[in-house]
Copies of this chain bind each other. A is one copy, B any other.
Amino acid sequence: MKNSPTTLTPTPSQYGCTNAAAAVLTRFHQVRAQTLALKAPLSAEDMSLQSMPDASPTKWHLAHTSWFFETFVLAKFERNFNPFQADFKVLFNSYYNGVGEKHPSSERGLISRPDVATVLAYCENITARVDALFRRGAASSEAIQLIVLGCHHEEQHQELLLTDIKHLLSKNPAKPQYKTRWPLVSVNAQPQQWAHFAGGLINIGHDINAPFFAFDNESPRHKVWIDPFEIATLPVSYGQYAAFVDAGGYETPDWWLSLGWDWLQTQKITAPLYWQKHENQWHTFTLHGMVPIEANTPACHLNYFEADAFARWMSATSATHRGVRLPTEYEWEQMATASAISVIDAIANANLLSPIFSQNALHPLAPRDHALASTTTPAPQQLFGDVWEWTQSSYGAYPKFQAATGAVGEYNGKFMCNQYVLRGGSCVTPRAHIRSTYRNFFPPDARWQFSGLRLVR
């Protein structure tokens, strides 16, 4: 690995570029280095397999994120552009019809060549060539915008790399570990409380003129009317969810959306993904291997159906939770922006993916902010990190939404159908990647992400 620490902190003078460009370059190198750090515990075999059509091999993530820079930046801005290898154009295109042909996503696990060594050489080559763009002062403002997009794109794939490798390892009867670090921390239980918000005619979304990055689907900023609401200070925990499972939740159609009940019966689902009962104790597969569930930790790997069913069950069976449901994404965003604590602090202290590999829990943690819990006005905790929180909002366009032009316009808009919004990031979301307006989205049956829920009433 040639990306030595010194290359991570270019200065404007070194490259003869502006401060702003230097900052982007620094970030570029950090993101590229973080991707390589994530693959470090994996063998060539680990990196080459595909465990289901929705997941991709690690090797593919490495190549595709490089392909993104090659296709959208280098092909346009590099002098005398030559592709690293001509057939990568098709092989590592994910879904951009505007770029041309694509290799079928369900067959990414059939490509033994290029091998991992070649893919790593590709990564290094692309990193060096993007770096050289800056060095030559050829990083125009348009190029820089695309490089910024490419960094955010790569951070998304860092998360997918981890959720996908977790799924692959889970299919191995030996249940191997990605990383050996367990137990993660000691746990002190905290009571869940309710935080009140006033609603009204509020502004939602990212202001397109704000001087920081957001995806096109977070804009335009627009008015929404919401009623007052109370929201749980903590996400639903493993202990709460296990009570639902053990109470026969997966055998009772009353709690389930019609599609959810069909899914559950067709797939013969009786518990959340990765759960197994050994000697009367629920265990779950983690990136640290099989472990017993920890009651006070946020439950994860739930899909929309499971999150919604849990809320209905709580509403119907717990006197103190009468009327609970999933929040809308507007309620969630108001909670995040109108809370007493600063968003910046919340993100800084959250259980998110850190650039320092050894610090990563790679699993949700129990609530940590005892100061908040002891205040007289209850405030939401764990907004960011730990688990993505399902909202009841269908993923759609904000009013006057405009997809970006060109092939990168395929980034978000064409997926606005039959998906639901998740907010807040998870323990495998890169820290620099999340913000309060961020809209993640998955189909209602997807559950290999670190996804949980928070109740509202």
Contacts and interface: CB of A to CB of B under 8 A. Distances in A.
Contacts of A126: none
Nearest to A400: B227
Contacts of A107: 171
A400 to B, nearest CB: 7
Given A43-B44, A225-B201, A110 B172 contact: yes
Contacts of A342: none
Nearest to A402: B323
A247 interface: no
Nearest to A403: B312
A51 B258 contact: no
**Max chain B CB contacts within 10 Å: which of A59, A414, A415?**
A414
Interface string A168-181: 11011110100000
A259 interface: yes
A122 interface: no
A111 interface: yes
Contact of A258 (B95, B113, B257, B394): B95
Contacts of A168: 110, 112
Contacts of A113: 43, 45-46, 169, 172, 174, 176
A369 interface: no
A336 interface: no
Contacts of A49: 48-49, 109-112
A373 interface: no
A91 interface: yes
A48 B51 contact: no
Nearest to A90: B173
Interface string A324-343: 01000000000000000000
A292 interface: no
Nearest to A397: B392
Contacts of A222: 227
A253 interface: yes
Given A43-B115, A44-B115, 16 more contacts: A43-B44, A43-B113, A44-B44, A45-B113, A48-B112, A49-B109, A110-B172, A111-B172, A112-B168, A113-B169, A113-B176, A256-B414, A257-B417, A259-B417, A308-B417, A418-B418
- List the 5 shortest-distance A-B pairs measured between CB atoms, nearest first: A394-B394, A110-B171, A45-B112, A97-B253, A46-B112
Interface of A: 43-46, 48-49, 51, 59, 87, 90-91, 95, 97-98, 103, 107, 109-113, 115-116, 168-169, 171-174, 176, 201, 222-227, 253-254, 256-261, 304-305, 308, 325, 392-394, 396-397, 399-400, 414-418, 444
